[in-house]
Structures are given as structure tokens and as C-alpha cells.
Structure 1
Amino acid sequence: MPRVVVSFPEGKHKALTMSYDDGRNADKRLVEIFNKYGIKGSFHINGGLLGGEDRLTAEEAAALYLGHEVSAHTLTHPTIARCPKEQLVYEINEDRRVLEAVVGYPVRGMSYPNGSFNSGIKSMLPHLGIEYSRPVQTTGGFGMPDDWYEWKPTCHHNDKLLERAESFLQLHKRQYLYLMYVWGHSYEFDNDSNWDVIERFCAAVGGRDDIWYATNIEIVDYMNAFAGLKFSASRELVYNPSAQSVWLEVDGRIVEVGGGKQVSLIG
């Protein structure tokens, strides 16, 4: 029987995703840098604060984030672990509603405002249309998450970012999937006068053939598509009921399983 493991798209085994909060004006410069180097980000925005002081307007956000992901961050940025459930529901649903009117697609991700969450909040999110959420705690590593609702990033951009990038680029063992996940606030680059750090990081990791550049929700969707594959008991056949392709490594060969397709994994 074949030995089968999942790969990232096109057989890659490394992925990079970026995550930035609050929808501040400095996102304009950050997105320009991302686009220059082919890097994708997820931008977690408070819909009720659009157009406020140092905040993007709805029109600016709609244009700026094309090719990236707009994600929820609650409507007004409360510390949600201190809020009643009714307020939590309102803050998330209204944020999604406002942002979806801006970007024109379902908003399905989130980051926790002020890093505030608990197990009760996590258990509510699937019922509110949220499929992942990011806290502020970091791992320092490059592993895949085991809980999409507590998806801890690798590091904040002020935490040895260039050193971590060098380590990430050197990873080569194909028996693993490696994910580098960086988070922060774009206005911090103005506050700290260190835009050179993110520019140097993106120049180092961008435009590489061995890295999948993805938004947060693209990674969630891809791994869910893999989880939904239907294998025969012998693992000689696989059917993909989803709409997107999934890439598998089968006895060292890369095999694409197209959306809606059944594929033989033998020979």
C-alpha cells in the first residue's frame, strides 16, 4: 500500500502567512511591501472604527486589501473575555456584516482584540461563522496548529524576525510541513522607526519557489480540504469532494488531486 502524506500546493512543504491588526493607515505602506515581494497577509479589522482617527476608510480598505484577506477583530475592539455573551455575539456578527459589505465576500477569520479570549469564547466562534482565530501568544516555532481557534503565530515582528527568517529558509526535511506565521500592528513600524526590518524580512523570504505564500484563511481551507479527502481502505484511490486541488506526496511522488476528482495513487 502507498505511503501518503499531505503537501502544500504544488508539493511545497513550507508556507508563510502574515497577520496584522486594527486597519490603521500604516497598512498602506505594509501592503505595498507585501505586494512588492509576493507575500500575502490577513488583516483583522474593527468595522465600527473604519474612518476614525488613523484608520482606513471603507473605500480605502476595499482597494488596499485586494489579494489579501480581510478578517474580523470585533466591531469596536472590547476586551471580550470581560463581556457578556450577548455583547460578544453582537461585536462579531456586526463586524462581519460591516466588513463583508466592504470586501464583498464572507469574512470567516478573526484575531482576538487585546489578545482576550477563553474556552467559552472559543466554543462560540464556530456558531458565529468564524473558522479560526489568532491570539497574541507565540510559539517561536514553525509547526502547524492543532487548534484553529487558538492559532498561535511563530512570532511578533519585533521578536528576532530576521533571525527566525534565516532559520525558516534553512528548513529542508520534507517529512515535515513548516509554517512561519508573523503578526503585529503596522503602526508599530512608525512608532519604533523600524520599517527596514519588515522590508529586509520580505526581501529575504519573498519570491521563493519552495514557499507557499498564503492568507490565514487559505491555509485553513486547504487543510480542511485535505481532511475531507476520501481514501479507499487500501489508500490506492482517493476522491476529493471539495472544489480545490490538494497535493499529496505518495511514496516520494507529488500527486495533485483535483477538486471533484478521483485519482489512483498507484504508479
Structure 2
Amino acid sequence: MDRQNKKTSPFCKQKEKMIFKMIGKVIKKLLFCFIVLILLQGFDESPPDKPADTSIDFTYPGGKHKALIMSFDDGCIADITLAALFDKYKIIGTFNISSGPIGTTQIWSVKNGDTIRQSYLSEKTILKIYKNHEIAAHGATHKNFLKIGKEEILEQINVDIQKLSFLTKRKINSIAYPFGAANDSVSKIVATTGITNARTVKSTNNFELPENLLLWNPTCRDDKALDFLDDYLKLNPKKLSVFYVWGHSWELGNGKRWDNMVQFCKSISNRKDIWYVGSGTLANYINATKKVKIKDNIITNPKGNLIVWLNLSSGVTRLKPGNHIKI
């Protein structure tokens, strides 16, 4: 029996068209609402969560944003005069000592082929001369860390730490690289010894804090310090800064270079906005600020940390370990 083709009535066709038209309108409205929602989210003015190091205005003790480090190498007898100068102007020095030559006289070759004769402080005089200053390592026998292997680098550092700790009854946590010679690989070796900061001799010509405390490039050498003096005295930073000077006391002599050092110390001393500090103390403070946490507008200084200083809308505040403050 033949099947008959069923034709859709005009009424049904019209009803289908109306249904499809209504569905189309609903889809258009939903799409419009979706686009508007995306645009509104894009214009959300609520501030994003900030990490602690950008949302907390840290200061140095007393609300200061500036610091001075004076770092001098070798431990020669010329340090006696320089340490006395620092004492006069209440400046903290960081004296980096090679423990091997202590109490001896050594002859060293220099770049131009000449030799220099150096006499080093004795064990009995070290603590007396540096009583107001930081004592740091400088490699037991002043070997270039880029020319020796890992085991010898560790020996140079650990022997220095052990001997200097024994002589001074202090914890040694800073080092100045002999010859300023260092790279990433060397700094990672140094990090295993308990040293928290290590200075190079590569000048930055600025007052920024270091990205890596174990490859700490100073601002300048002592013979350029006066060139940066006025800029730092006039500086009104809104973040932590440091003027880091390095050198050798035996290079100062008793002529113009020494006179410049006297002028520098006299001019930069007794400033209410400058923290006079050793490199180890400053490094410890920088590390302490990195341990502070902020969440839900509450700043927390964890137990076992150092006291940190904050600049809040209510003023400069000291936050003790184990405490928190709402902002």
C-alpha cells in the first residue's frame, strides 16, 4: 500500500517561525548581558592583593630610609687610624679581615708589577681597634675564589669564620670577596657557610638595595665617595636605600685621599635621617623584612624574627616579633 506524503499545514509553519524567532531574541539578550558583565568586570576598581614587599612601607630603626656602610678590607695596621676616624664621627665600619696574615708582614704583588709591603694587626689588637665596628671575613689567605675549586673556597671561608669568631667572640656573617672575585656559582657556595651577605667591588653608582645579598655591589670606592655625597644628603627616599662605600685603609695614605675621607666622614656624620650600620646588621634587617606577612589588612611579624619598623598612616611604628597590627 502506497504511503501518502504528509504536508505541513501553513499554521504549523507559522508557529515554528515564531518559536525560532523568540529563541533568537532570548539568545541575543543573553549574549548582550554576558558582554556587559565582562565589561563591568574589566572596570572593577577594587585594588588587587599586594605582596608584603610592595604593600608595606618598611623603614630602618627610628623611621629612617637611608643607611651608610663603610667597608674596608684586609685588616692592615692602617685600619687603626681609619677606625679612630670612624669612632670620632660615630660611623660604623665593616672591617673585612683575612685571618691568615694576622700579626705578620706580607709582600704582595700589585697590577702594575710592583710589590707592596703590608703589616697586619695582631690578635691582641683586633678586638680593641674594632670594638665599635663589625668584623667580617675576607678569605683566610686572600685567594681569588674564581681561580680555586669549591672545597678550597669553603676552606677559605670556614677557616676565616672559625678563627675570627674565636678571637672576637662574635658571630661572623659577612664577607668581602678577595679581589672582589665572585659569580653566581661562588655565591651559592658561600650561602652554605652561614654567611648572609658578601660584597663585590663592582660599583653601582646608586643607592639601591641589592637584589642578591651574596653578590652585593657597593655604591662606589672610597675615592669616589665625595662625588655621591651631596646627592645622598639631599635624597628624600620613600623606600629603603643605602650608600655603600668600600676601600682599603692602606690606600688612603696621608695625602689628598685621606683628606677626602676625613671630609666625607665629617659631612655625612650625625645625620638624623641616616642609619650608620655594618653590612651584616643591615643584611639581617633586610632579611627580617622579607619574613613579615600581610593578609586581610593585618601585618604580622613572626616569632623569632627581628623587630621591624613600619611607616603607617598613623606614623612610624615598631613591630616586635610575634605581634601584629591592623592597617
Q: TM-score range by the shorter chain?
A: over 0.9
Could you tell me whether the CA contact under 8 Å between 2:182 and 2:215 is conserved in 1? no
User: Structure 1, residues 37-68: CA drift from partner, whole Å, max 9, x if none?
Assistant: 11111111000110111100111111111121
Q: Distance in 2 between matches of 1:21 and 1:252?
A: 43
The aligned length equals 262
Could you tell me whether the CA contact under 8 Å between 1:240 and 1:257 is conserved in 2? no
Is 1:236 matched with 2:305? no
Q: Distance in 2 between matches of 1:252 and 1:140?
A: 34
**What's the TM-score once normalised by structure 2's chain length?**
0.76
Could you tell me whether the CA contact under 8 Å between 2:59 and 2:240 is conserved in 1? yes
**Matching residue of 1:153:** 218
User: Structure 1, residues 127-153: CA drift from partner, whole Å, max 9, x if none?
Assistant: 112111111100000111110011000
Q: Alpha carbons of 1:229 and 1:79: their partners in 2 closer, same or farther (altered >3 Å)?
A: same
Q: Distance in 1 between matches of 2:58 and 2:133?
A: 24
Moved more, 239-248 or 16-25: 239-248
Structure 1 counterpart of 2:236, from 172, 181, 184:
172
**What's the TM-score once normalised by structure 1's chain length?**
0.93
Structure 1 counterpart of 2:152, from 87, 92, 96:
87
Q: Return the offset for 1:250.
A: 1.6
Q: Alpha carbons of 1:169 and 1:74: their partners in 2 closer, same or farther (altered >3 Å)?
A: same
Matched residue SS, 1:194: helix
Alignment of 1:217-256 (within 5 A): 217-231=280-294, 233-251=295-313, 253-256=315-318
Could you tell me whether the CA contact under 8 Å between 1:229 and 1:241 is conserved in 2? no
Q: Which has the higher contact order (CA 8 A, sep 6+)?
A: 1
Matched residue SS, 2:300: strand
Structure 2 counterpart of 1:97, from 151, 159, 162:
162
Q: Return the offset for 1:111.
A: 0.7
User: Structure 1, residues 18-46: CA drift from partner, whole Å, max 9, x if none?
Assistant: 10000011101101111111111111100
Q: Distance in 1 between matches of 2:244 and 2:263?
A: 16
User: Structure 1, residues 174-204: CA drift from partner, whole Å, max 9, x if none?
Assistant: x222210000000001176521111100100
**Matching residue of 1:264:** 325
Q: Alpha carbons of 1:252 and 1:154: their partners in 2 closer, same or farther (altered >3 Å)?
A: farther
Q: Alpha carbons of 1:192 and 1:118: their partners in 2 closer, same or farther (altered >3 Å)?
A: farther
Is 1:15 matched with 2:79? no
Q: Distance in 1 between matches of 2:300 and 2:194?
A: 29
Moved more, 183-192 or 17-26: 183-192
Matched residue SS, 2:324: strand
Alignment of 1:37-186 (within 5 A): 37-53=89-105, 54-159=119-224, 161-173=225-237, 175-186=238-249
Q: Return the offset for 1:155.
A: 0.4
Structure 2 unaligned segments of length 5 or more: list them.
1-46, 106-118
Q: Distance in 2 between matches of 1:38 and 1:148?
A: 25
Q: Distance in 2 between matches of 1:83 and 1:119?
A: 15
Could you tell me whether the CA contact under 8 Å between 1:228 and 1:242 is conserved in 2? no
Q: State the superposition RMSD in angstroms.
A: 1.7
Larger fraction in helix: 2
Q: Distance in 2 between matches of 1:164 and 1:252?
A: 33
Q: Return the offset for 1:234.
A: 1.4
Equivalent residue letter for 2:226: L
**Matching residue of 2:27:** none
Q: Distance in 2 between matches of 1:199 and 1:264?
A: 43
Structure 1 unaligned segments of length 5 or more: list them.
none
Rg (Cα) greater in structure: 2
Could you tell me whether the CA contact under 8 Å between 2:57 and 2:239 is conserved in 1? no
